Amino acid sequence: MLRPTPGPVYYDGPEGEAFEREVAAYVGMGHGVAVSSGSAALLIALLALGIGSGDEVICPANAYIAVPESVIHTGAAPKYADVLEATANVDLTTIKPHLTARTKAIIVIHNYGHPVDMDPIQSLAKSRGIAIVEDAAHALGGSYKGRRLGSLSDISFASFARKCVSVAGQGGMSFTSNPEWATAMHQYRRHGWNPADAYRSTVGRIGYNFTLNESNAAVGRVSLRRLDAHNAARAANAAYYTGAIGARRLPLRPLDVMPWAKSGWLHYVVRAPRRDALVEALEREGIEASVHYRDPVYRLPVFLERTGEDPGPRPVTDQLARQIVSLPSHPDMGERDLDAVLDAIAAFYRG
Ligand SMILES: Cc1ncc(COP(=O)(O)O)c(C=O)c1O
């Protein structure tokens, strides 16, 4: 009897499933849901938590645009917590002023790979029945008091676009140990279909299409195997930069590293006098120095129009936005490359 030949599997296949299992196991969560970007991973996380119109979600004022954007797409309102000058991260003291009866979730970002001080935030969230969503886009492989980043919340997520794990394109994944939220996120990922229903005849909720391609998942699986080695190289680069900045008496101030922190070190960030001129001088030397983030997201006019409020200044975020720069610290860089960056910085400040 003639059987139809199965066509090639471009998505919803074994590579994607293996990638989900492997990254979730690495992070220390029961389930992974692979999607087409980190932004999509955050959106389905918020939807699975039931966040929507009338709710408030606290997020860092020093944030990548996807964070408040995802909150706004659910219909909820982002409330922006300022950050600490030492780490550029939120903590309990910066979050607390924004708590109201409408607060449904707190999104923490382990900015640049450095962990947020999670214990006090977890206690607060538990006592008030608020969900925590953890943005581990910069931080896979990092840990807080020995606990893996991405495992310290109700739902966490990662991005795989030019991050510590790469899928050679766009990709992301959400993680949870709650099977109901995992099923909900699977459904939101693909048109509300239940992953257990092979014929996809039932639509459990209104979803969308955020599927990750098999080819990207396959690349991601290889990249995951290199994560620890790459993170160790990035950590060594960071230590070298910090030592050399002190030894050469450069006027740069690296962000602090807390004693309980093991950073993922996606970005090596310093506070630099005359930052914009420095970035231009480095660019002229062919050295890429990016700024995460130059225009604080909480002041974006289109966001303010949509949420109908002017949140007022967030002074530390504003100050950091003028000062910080991420020096190149790719795992393939050796001490000679780092010295070339440091030489160019020294020449700029001498000049
Ligand atoms: C902190 C942070 N959160 C979320 C995202 C969103 O991830 P993606 O670009 O994969 O949508 C990024 C991306 O750079 C990020 O840096």
* Residue 165 φ/ψ, nearest 5 degrees: -110, 130
Using a 6 Å cutoff on CB, does residue 114 contact ligand 1? no
Q: Is residue 173 located within the same domain as residue 231?
A: no
* Residue 106 φ/ψ, nearest 5 degrees: -120, 125
Q: Is residue 73 located within the same domain as residue 211?
A: yes
Mean pLDDT across the stretch 132-136?
98
Using a 6 Å cutoff on CB, does residue 24 contact ligand 1? no
Quote the CA–CA distance of 104 and 120 in Å, as a whole number: 17
Using a 6 Å cutoff on CB, does residue 104 contact ligand 1? no
Q: Is residue 174 located within the same domain as residue 299?
A: no
Contact at 8 Å (CB) between 17 and 134? no
| Domain contains 3 | no
Using a 6 Å cutoff on CB, does residue 37 contact ligand 1? yes
Mean pLDDT across the stretch 214-243?
98
User: What residues are paired with 32 via a beta bridge?
Assistant: 175
**Which mutation among 64, 156, 163, 265 tests ligand 1's pocket best, with the greatest number of atoms within 8 A of CB?**
64
96: confidence class by pLDDT, cuts 50, 70, 90: very high
Contact at 8 Å (CB) between 158 and 38? yes
Q: Is residue 271 located within the same domain as residue 299?
A: yes
Count of the separate structural domains present in the chain: 2
Quote the CA–CA distance of 297 and 291 in Å, as a whole number: 13
Q: Is residue 94 located within the same domain as residue 192?
A: yes
Mean pLDDT across the stretch 80-107?
98
Using a 6 Å cutoff on CB, does residue 216 contact ligand 1? no
**Which mutation among 36, 42, 65, 159 tests ligand 1's pocket best, with the greatest number of atoms within 8 A of CB?**
159
Active site residue 163: yes
Q: Is residue 245 located within the same domain as residue 216?
A: no
pTM above 0.95, yes or no: yes
Give me ligand 1 centre to Cα 137, in Å: 6
CATH number where 22 lies: 3.40.640.10
Q: Before 11, cis peptide (omega within 30)?
A: no
153: three-class secondary structure by DSSP = coil
Q: Show the tokens assigned to 99.
A: 């708590």
Residue found by looking up tokens 């039932």 in the block = 202
Q: Average pLDDT, whole number, for the chain?
A: 96
Using a 6 Å cutoff on CB, does residue 165 contact ligand 1? no
| Domain contains 1 | no
Give me ligand 1 centre to Cα 288, in Å: 19
pLDDT tens, position by position, 26-71: 999 999 999 999 999 999 999 999 999 999 999 999 999 999 999 9
Q: Is residue 166 located within the same domain as residue 254?
A: no
Residue type (1 letter), 15? E
Q: Which runs of E-coded beta strand occur in 180-231?
A: none
Q: What distances in angstroms separate CA 264 from CA 76, 92, 135, one per listed residue? A: 30, 22, 12
Contact at 8 Å (CB) between 248 and 226? no
Query: What range defines the domain where residue 130 resides?
Result: 14-225
Q: Is residue 246 located within the same domain as residue 295?
A: yes
195: confidence class by pLDDT, cuts 50, 70, 90: confident
For residue 187, give the DSSP letter: H
Q: Is residue 217 located within the same domain as residue 314?
A: no
Q: Is residue 220 located within the same domain as residue 248?
A: no
> 82 vs 312, which has greater pLDDT?
82
Residue type (1 letter), 107? I
Q: Show the tokens assigned to 229.
A: 């080695």
Rounded to the nearest 5 percent, the helix, strand and coil shares of the chain are 40, 15, 40
